[in-house]
Structure 1
Amino acid sequence: MTVYFVTGTDTDAGKTLATSALLCAAKDQQLSTLGLKPIASGSHTTADGLRNSDALALQAQSAPAVDYTTVNPWTFAPAIAPHLAASEAGHALNVNSVVESLTATLNDTPRDLTLIEGAGGWRVPLNEQDDFSDIPRLMQLPVILVVGLKLGCLNHARLTAEVIAADGLTLAGWVGSVVDPAFASDTARFDANIALLKNTLNAPCLGVIPHLAIADAVHARHALSLTALLNTPVLNQEAAL
């Protein structure tokens, strides 16, 4: 069982697209998969209750299939910071409850590859004391960083990688996701930015997802490679969990 925590340089960096695409690529290799988004705000009302589009995308790439609440146990309607959405809904998020829930899910649903997607960037708060980053820190999970490729991404990516290391965690790989097509329009400059990220982020690049007309896992998976993840030794996560 290999488990990674997926974070981003910012909100809308392309975390869900990258996460679902990595899971889709794993399915192509006949691996069992599980995508988890424990906390999601910005959800819509359905006949089955609140549903979040990011969590649904991860559920669709989980094989064998799992029910929605396995993927996303905490779901909130407003598209605002999760700790505020939870507070407005009368819930109090705390890292221990989230870690307990995730640990139970991982023990009950072991898969070849499990990806746990956070919300926003590394320091998004769960409450006044806890941050999303406390989840992988307590679970001792290696991290995949999704870099939203746009103006300013070099600073955001390098600062995030530095704080992941400062928190004592391993950056296992990073994915570039073109969120601003204008940023990639000058090929030479774009390639220079990617080269700098490859040289300064102390982790393998798992691929660069272009700006897609149809931005879904099936189309994005072709831009990614699982080789570095599958060939890199990962700590004994069963012991850590």
Structure 2
Amino acid sequence: MNSPACAYFVAGTDTEIGKTLIASCLLHALAAAGVAAAGMKPVAAGAEWRDGAWHNDDADALAAHAGVSLPPALATPYLLHQPTAPHIAAKLENHPIELPLIFECYQRIAALAGAVVVEGVGGFRVPLNDTMDTADLARQLGLPVVLVVGLRLGAINHALLTTEAIAARGLPLAGWVANTVDPDLLNSEATVAALASRIDAPLLGWVPRISAGSAPTAIERVAAAARYLNFSKLPGWPTNPPSI
């Protein structure tokens, strides 16, 4: 399957650990490098009706930071209403998740953009239907993986198991990000050091907990987080950004 030079799959060690934040940072950095990037959230679980349409916060965040505007049905072909496991929501809503449709949407997006950032749903092994999960989706897209490690108790085990699952599917782990979920985590520096010595991929940055007071809007929070990240080690990253 053809892909732009810059195309990444953002996976996480769990749910609610900052995948959307880091995916938005990727889009923010690509825009700063002069690349027209598109964001894709193929499966989103949890939506509310606003302004005459169904909205998911994660999908909306990617759209807000993307340089390429996409129809919501193309960027998120499976927008499920219930905030529960996607395969359960899909069954309850009679909207079965089929990977061929996601692949078709990805190919259409890739033809429109100079880069694509695809955000997974939940952790790396979240079921999508009775036979496939997000690991299968990532494998069939075949994109380099950017892993978001949520720094909280248990992070080391979750991160190492996820890196093993990524390798088992033959996917390249392009890099990983430490994202502070629990600001009171004991020995956080030692935790990051332990992961850095065991994960065979570059650490792209360590994002602290950014308070609403220091960055009150979503756009400002992404800009603040992006300052802690360096994506230049990712494969295909633009090496000659335009001068500002």
Same fold (TM over 0.5): yes
Which residue is 1:123 aligned to? 125
Q: Distance in 2 between matches of 1:60 and 1:69?
A: 15
Deviation at 1:94, TM superposition (A): 2.1
Q: What are the within-5 Å matches in structure 2 for residues 37-116 of structure 1?
A: 37-107=41-111, 109-111=112-114, 113-116=115-118
Deviation at 1:230, TM superposition (A): 5.1
Which residue is 1:208 aligned to? 206
Which residue is 1:226 aligned to? 231
Describe the shift of the 1:231–1:34 C-alpha distance in structure 2 as closer, same or farther (beyond 3 A): closer
Instruction: Write the letter of the residue equivalent to 1:100.
Output: E
Structure 1 runs of 4+ aligned residues shifted over 3 Å read 230-233
- SS of 1:220's equivalent in the other structure is helix
Which deviates more from structure 2 when the two are superposed, residues 80-89 or residues 69-78?
69-78
Which residue is 1:239 aligned to? none
Q: What CA RMSD, in Å, does the superposition of the two structures yield over aligned residues? A: 1.7
Which residue is 1:181 aligned to? 183
Q: Distance in 2 between matches of 1:206 and 1:70?
A: 29
Q: Distance in 2 between matches of 1:136 and 1:64?
A: 22
Deviation at 1:198, TM superposition (A): 1.1
- CA offsets per residue over residues 133-160 of structure 1, 9 Å max, x none? 1112112111110000001000000110
Q: Distance in 1 between matches of 2:105 and 2:67?
A: 20
- SS of 1:115's equivalent in the other structure is strand
Q: Which runs of 5+ in 1 are unaligned?
A: 234-241
- SS of 2:184's equivalent in the other structure is helix
- SS of 2:150's equivalent in the other structure is strand
Deviation at 1:74, TM superposition (A): 1.4
- How many residue pairs end up in the alignment? 227
Residues 151 and 188 in structure 2, CA contact (< 8 A), matched pair in contact too: no
Deviation at 1:97, TM superposition (A): 2.4
Q: Distance in 1 between matches of 2:73 and 2:224?
A: 26
Please identify which structure carries the higher helix content: 1
Describe the shift of the 1:228–1:54 C-alpha distance in structure 2 as closer, same or farther (beyond 3 A): same
- SS of 2:54's equivalent in the other structure is strand
Instruction: Write the letter of the residue equivalent to 1:133.
Output: A
TM-score, L = length of structure 1: 0.89
Describe the shift of the 1:70–1:199 C-alpha distance in structure 2 as closer, same or farther (beyond 3 A): same
Describe the shift of the 1:219–1:134 C-alpha distance in structure 2 as closer, same or farther (beyond 3 A): same
Instruction: Write the letter of the residue equivalent to 1:203.
Output: A
Deviation at 1:232, TM superposition (A): 6.9
Deviation at 1:81, TM superposition (A): 0.6
Which deviates more from structure 2 when the two are superposed, residues 120-129 or residues 189-198?
189-198
Deviation at 1:125, TM superposition (A): 0.5
Q: Distance in 1 between matches of 2:22 and 2:143?
A: 18
